[in-house]
Chain A
Amino acid sequence: MAAAAARLLIRGSHQTLPISSVGTGKQSCIGNALLTLSSGCNSRLKTQRRHAAHFTFQPDPVPTQYGSTQKMNLFQSITSALDNTLASDPTAVIFGEDVAFGGVFRCTVGLRDKYGKDRVFNTPLCEQGIVGFGIGAAVAGATAIAEIQFADYIFPAFDQIVNEAAKYRYRSGNLFDCGNLTIRAPWGCVGHGSLYHSQSPEAFFAHCPGIKIVIPRGPTQAKGLLLSCIADNNPCIFFEPKILYRAAVEQVPVDAYTIPLSQAEVLQEGSDVTLVAWGTQIHVLREVANMAQEKLGVSCEVIDLRTILPWDNETVCKVSGHHSIVSIIVGHFIIGI
């Protein structure tokens, strides 16, 4: 996968490409780069053996500004964020399928025992009902944190999210809103998930004004971004890369802290090409950037978008003013965002 991404690099191209036309225009030089690189990669394409995880998780440096830290993996950092929320906000409730015993990915372990069964409770198997119920609870003033068991199952709730949640504030002339709603869902490919446990549906929601979509790359980011989503006055969808639940381990602050939404983060500065991604792909891109530097002498800028909607086009465009942008998308892609 890293090799495949490396093939995207444009050798020494210093021309500006408008963001919307990645893949058009300069294909001949892209094609050449592809040919020179691809010969070594054919064996990888032809083999049908399944390799181990195609990326190496690259932990963030330990944050020092938020107090003491503890070693946590992604699901533990989510639990920590939810723990902080339930402790500080008496109106906060967590609900979804199987959250009471801790959830299928252990994101809510211990919370029911600590905060009571009226604050952490199971719903029956009904996604449309879960989100609709969440919207109602949020409108009435509760901080509603709904869990959809896998992002693949979010589609029965698509109408509720797009038609009800996103448009509530607008259609009521700001009289009502469901800003207290946060929807969490495990997201993205995991190797054995196949059709219905691997989807990355952020593109479907990305064209819907009124909601925010956030995808973290690791535990420290996840906790800060989730707490921001919960605090934010707009309905937010928080996708958690399921392949990172155990694989991503970092030193995460124990207390609550927030990371601003709609701010992309430049992880690595570079001068030749900008690579933009979110979630698991960030770790692939970091490897790619290193490979590109070593093998091709190309200096890559790596940007983590973090918030997909509304996205930080200022940061992305500003730093990339001089060079072309390559956006690596994990999910459904036929027409870009």
Chain B
Amino acid sequence: MKPLMLLLFLLANFIRPFFFTCLKKSDVFKLDEAPATEVVMTRDEGLQYYRTMQTMRRMELKADQLYKQKIIRGFCHLYDGQEACAVGIEASIKPTDHLITAYRAHGYTLTRGGTVKEIMAELTGRRGGIAKGKGGSMHMYCKNFYGGNGIVGAQVPLGAGVALACKYKGSDELCVCLYGDGAANQGQIFETYNMAALWKLPVIFICENNRYGMGTSVERAAASTDYFKRGEFIPGLRVDGMDILCVREATRFAAEHCRSGKGPILMELQTYRYHGHSMSDPGVSYRTREEIQEVRSKSDPISLLKDRLLSNNMASVEELKEIDVDVRKEIEDAAQFATTDPEPPLEELCNHIFSNNPPVEVRGTNPWAKLKSVS
């Protein structure tokens, strides 16, 4: 089956596809097979992944800058370092599939269809934002992307519910349900594992293990750091989350598993975040600068992809530089929009609390200051 597919691939593309061996073989748990380690990536795919990851990286760094200038306020959890996870997952699921994650959501908002402009405007709380300026960093949503959730672990049962709906409707859609190493110790995760396995829901649980739950390293928080085995009766995979092709293949494998009706599957992506937990965390009180530097120099997802593209002559330095310049411009434009777009009008403050036909009156800061809620 595989050689035939490759042949068709080659015939269809007439482009220089390349065979790659993933740097790390995925660990498996209660599975007879593992994701492919010999994979194909076309030039087009490579450039597209590079562009998306670079856009994500620059967007997060821009958000960092804007936060320090106090243009973005509140809470801001940045995703830089983990780009391979978001882009790799999206590469193997369909736009009709569903995805839900926690608060480190900027990357997924981008891969699921949000534009950089909308995302940055949401960060600055303007009306052009993807949640109309009312959600902020942690609450971004778009079609088939259910956020963007602040309470740790609360999104996991939600994701299983979405998967149930997919199964019930009889479509071959699945739900990718993400959480972190900190959330893996929440009770509701285990409740969800049970329901998903019992009813064979098409859900891919993905634990983005970036080694630290806020400031607590995984060894100090978890009795078992083999997060991919925590599902016990759910098969699991442990994947190198810094290598986009590993993530892509593992997700492809997992998606096939779900779509063939075998029920849920659990993936642990071993990844790393360069920034602290949020913008109020310097990120160096619980880990050393040397550790961060080491990951940056040896396992940076964008550098890994770039090396692959260059060393296999799939792209030239100039081409990649051009993409960089393009991306930089896109981010600058988006930042410009995000700083100049007006804030949502005061009339919208109380809208959409309920769903109601006639507008409802809402109490303001005192019983005689009435605000209106339109929905």
Contacts and interface: CB of A to CB of B under 8 A. Distances in A.
B136 interface: yes
Interface in B202-239: 213-216, 220-222
Nearest to B367: A23
Contacts of B220: 122
Given A124-B221, A124-B222, A192-B73, A27 B368 contact: yes
Contact of B221 (A23, A125, A129): A125
B150 A195 contact: yes
A159 to B, nearest CB: 11
Interface in A78-106: 97-98, 101
B346 A124 contact: no
B313 to A, nearest CB: 47
B244 to A, nearest CB: 28
Contacts of A156: 186-188
User: Main secondary structure on chain B at its contact with chain A?
Assistant: loop
B110 to A, nearest CB: 22
Interface string A1-16: 1001101100000000
Nearest to B153: A125
B75 A125 contact: no
B363 A192 contact: no
A46 interface: yes
Contacts of B346: 45-46, 48
B8 interface: no
B368 A7 contact: yes
A53 interface: no
Interface residues of B, number: 32
B350 interface: no
Given A122-B220, A125-B213, A192 B366 contact: no
A197 B215 CA distance: 18
A174 interface: no
Contacts of A129: 187
B146 to A, nearest CB: 16
Given A122-B216, A192-B73, A196-B151, A7 B366 contact: yes
Contacts of A192: 73-75
B182 interface: yes
Interface string A123-143: 011101100000000000000
Contact of B366 (A5, A97, A155): A5
B366 A126 contact: no
B368 A101 contact: no
Contacts, number: 74
A31 B368 contact: yes
A242 to B, nearest CB: 13
B188 A4 contact: no
Nearest to B369: A4
Given A46-B346, A98-B215, A98-B216, A126 B187 contact: yes
Given A124-B185, A156-B188, A1 B368 contact: no
Interface in B349-371: 363, 365-369
B341 interface: no
Contacts of B369: 4, 7
Interface string B140-155: 0000000000111100
B120 interface: no
A153 interface: yes
Contacts of A22: 367
A194 B74 contact: yes
A125 B366 contact: no
Interface in A147-195: 152-153, 155-156, 192-195
A257 to B, nearest CB: 33
A22 B363 CA distance: 14
A4 B187 contact: no
B365 to A, nearest CB: 5
A124 B184 CA distance: 9
B188 to A, nearest CB: 7
A48 B343 contact: yes
B183 interface: yes
Contacts of B153: 125
Given A31-B368, A122-B216, A152-B151, 17 more contacts: A4-B366, A4-B369, A7-B366, A7-B368, A8-B366, A22-B367, A46-B346, A48-B346, A97-B214, A125-B183, A125-B185, A125-B186, A125-B221, A129-B187, A192-B73, A194-B138, A197-B75
A-B interface, 6 closest residue pairs, ranked by CB to CB distance from nearest: A124-B185, A196-B150, A23-B367, A125-B182, A4-B365, A124-B221
Interface of B: 73-75, 136, 138-139, 150-153, 182-183, 185-188, 213-216, 220-222, 285, 343, 346, 363, 365-369
